[in-house]
Amino acid sequence: MSAPRTVTVQTLDHGDVTLAEPSWCVVEHPAGNHRSGIHHEGAECAATVDLPGHGRIEFLKASLSQFPFAEYGSRDVTVAVEVEGECYEFDSARLGDLAAAITSHALSGLLPLRARLQSLEGEAR
């Protein structure tokens, strides 16, 4: 078994800070930040769709996230999800709620709208 990875970050307010580097963290930790701004971030996943005239777009970008020295909010690992340009943090229970809401919206909102649109398209012909 290998020793845990560590990283040393030069901060503005605490000098060199050495901390454990999670195996899932894929970002560099630049110098010149405050200790509370040190951020572990995992690989991003996103929903994608092809839109005529726009190409492939991504939405609902999500990744593991942790601010191990956060002064406000949680220091726990969460999943950060981007919605309309804002990032929201979810624990596992709340992420399950989000997944259920997305699934419900797809099944009871988007798919019925698609069916209605298809019927209207058929009438227009």
Per-residue confidence (pLDDT) for residue 98, from 0 to 100: 97
Per-residue confidence (pLDDT) for residue 4, from 0 to 100: 79
Residues 51, 103, single domain; the answer is: no
Answer whether 75's CB lies under 8 Å from 68's CB: yes
pTM: 0.85
pLDDT digits (tens, 9 = 90+) for 89-110: 999 999 999 999 999 999 999 9
Domain of residue 83: give its range.
1-90
Give me 113's structure tokens: 């709208």
Per-residue confidence (pLDDT) for residue 41, from 0 to 100: 97
Residues 15, 76, single domain; the answer is: yes
CA pair distance 89, 66, nearest whole angstrom = 10
Residues 99, 80, single domain; the answer is: no
Q: Locate tokens 């992420």: which residue? A: 95
Average pLDDT over residues 47-52: 95
Domains in the chain: how many in total? 2
Question: b/e string for 19-42 if b means 16 or more Cβ within 10 A?
Answer: eeebeebeeebeeebebbbbbbbb
Residues 4, 46, single domain; the answer is: yes
Residues 74, 111, single domain; the answer is: no
Residues 69, 41, single domain; the answer is: yes
